Structure 1
Amino acid sequence: MKAAFITGHGGNEGVEVRECERPSRRSGEVLVRVEAATLNQGDLYMRNSGAGIIHQLTQIMGLDTAGVVEGVDDAETLLSAGQQVVIHPGIACGRCEFCQRGEGVLCTKMQLLGEHRHGTFAQWISMPAQNVFPMPQGLTFAQAAALGVNHLTAWRMLFTKAQVRPWETVLVFGIGGGVSLAAMQLAKAIGAKVIQTS
């Protein structure tokens, strides 16, 4: 398969598209044929320096993706071959104090695609089944791929932490960024008044 690798830091000269071995699916994982992947600020950060993030080079880039299931365990009940799916790029340990209380996004051993392990800028990816979700109907693969990091971050900020209600007003900073755009969309979707800055 083809994949985009970070081979060094600094800029696009550290990115190389090349052939590599297709991932083999292990028990409990789902093999997904990638149809769309989005370029995230995290991808650019890893390309530029990756400072402060423990990682190894060379590594396949990419956080967010949407695609089609090509392989899944027979016992899997939520996913099936041929199904359109999106991937959550953060793989939680399931054992730390945060995972135990249902806050896997705060996992102390979180592994992010494109940072701690191979990412989504490839033709196939194999992921734990708990990180693969049915793709919302009515979206293209590109639109669904854009739901990952930005919308999950905005959702947690608005509804888990701030507990925004429809009658409230939300101030969104830096409306040009992905998380800010997602926050605006989500807040407006529940009927909240949104004020934006840029």
Structure 2
Amino acid sequence: MQAIFYEEHGSTDVLEYGEFPDPEIGPDEVLVDVKAGGLNHLDVWTRKGMPSPEELPHVPGSDAAGVVSEVGDRVTRFEPGDRVVVDPNLFCGDCEFCRKGETSLCVDFKMIGEHVRGVHSEQAALHEDNLIHLPDDVDFVTAASAPLVFQTAWRMLVTRAEIQQNDSVLVHGASGGVGHAAVQIAANEGCEVWATASSEEKLEYASEIGADHLVNYEEDDFVDEIKSATDGRGVDVVVDHVGEATWDGSLSVAAHGGAIVTCGATSGISPETNIPKVFWKQLDILGSTMGTPGEMDDVMAKVFDGTFEPRVRDVMPMSEIVRAHEMLEDREGFGSVVVVPDSEYDPDDYE
């Protein structure tokens, strides 16, 4: 089969698209003909070796959608011809958190595409527990762009921050995958949403999907803008997946008794923390990673019924994977980047 892969870590120069061994399924696994694969910043970090996959060469990709072509002997939930979307979470099933249903806290948590072989290939072998049924009226590109970012944003806001109607929520980097999902989730819960982005075009998109207040962080200081507009109060919840570049400002703009919830740090992992800001304002600092199967089902149901609209900035053949990674690293456009196997790609389908 054809697959995206790399044999060593590094820049986009290490990315290849070519022949790769066909996957073989076990008794509990399903063989999926991949129709579309969604990219995330995770793919960039993994390519660079942060963290390093368990084996090289490595096929990246945590998100994909496709059609079942073969099932193992013990598979009960799927049959050939079923349309499916991938849930990339891998849980041990035995630790104290898994036994309590808090699988997102699994002590041996892993992810497809990060720690083990991913799904950016013509075919993928996956455990049936890592697949959910895809309705006939949802296209593969939409489905492939949604799982990682929407379940991440859902857990951050609904489960961890416990947002309520009329809460004020600041979403940093609203043009990215997690950011544009967080804007929609907060707006759908009845929150007042602030969004930051690096251009007026990106902010226009953020407004279209539910942001009430917009800040171009290339031109204005988001702390000054929000403090001025809220008479110094700030916001109830800050969604910060940026890290060093925004961390101190996030602490500053959070209201007394507010919360900062984080799932990543694309600008750097070791920001300085003004500890008095945390205790004097009695802030909650909340970490969040991916989601549980139930959270995945809840948020994807809202993607499938159209409540949430994954935005896709571009769809391209897998052979253009270098360009796809460059788009992510250079922060081009609004929303997700999706790749399609060259054997399935027709540019007329994505005009």
Taking structure 1 as the reference length, the TM-score comes to 0.90
Distance in 1 separating the partners of 2:8 and 2:148: 24
Separation in structure 2 between the aligned mates of residue 75 and residue 52 of structure 1, nearest angstrom = 33
SS in 2 for 1:55: coil
Q: Deviations over 1:36-80 (max 9, x none)?
A: 001210111122x21344533211111111111112246644323
The answer to whether structure 1 residue 66 and structure 2 residue 65 are counterparts is yes
Q: Secondary structure at the match of 2:8?
A: coil
Asked if structure 1 preserves the Cα contact closer than 8 Å seen for 2:29 and 2:75, the reply is no
Change (3 A) 1:196 1:81: same
Q: Which has the larger radius of gyration?
A: 2
Q: Give the equivalent residue in structure 1 for 2:144.
A: 145
Q: Cα offset for 1:161? A: 1.0
Q: Is the 8 A contact 1:136 1:144 kept in 2?
A: no
TM-score by length of structure 2 reads: 0.53
Mapped to 2, the partners of 1:69 and 1:52 lie a distance apart of: 30
Matches of residues 1-198 of structure 1 in structure 2 within 5 Å? 1-47=1-47, 49-53=48-52, 55-73=54-72, 76-136=75-135, 138-198=137-197
Q: Distance in 2 between matches of 1:35 and 1:184?
A: 28
Question: CA offsets, 1:117-153, max 9 Å, x none?
Answer: 1111111111111110012453221110111211111
- Deviation, 1:11, is 1.4
What is the rounded CA distance, in whole Å, between the counterparts of 1:136 and 1:111 in structure 2? 27
Q: State the structure with bigger RCO (CA 8 A, min sep 6), 1 or 2.
A: 1
Moved more, 158-167 or 55-64: 158-167
Could you list the runs of 5+ residues in structure 2 that have no partner in the other structure? Answer: 198-351
Structure 2 letter corresponding to 1:134: H
How far off its partner does 1:91 sit? Answer: 1.1
How far off its partner does 1:81 sit?
1.9
Amino acid aligned to 2:64:
T
Give the percent of matched residue pairs that are identical in Structure 1 and Structure 2.
Answer: 38
Letter in 1 for 2:93: G
C-alpha contact 2:30 2:75 (8 A) present in aligned 1: no
* Whole-angstrom CA distance in 1 between matches of 2:123 and 2:184: 30
- Mark the runs of 5 or more structure 1 residues left unpaired by the alignment: none
Tell me if structure 1 keeps the 8 A contact 2:5–2:15.
Answer: yes
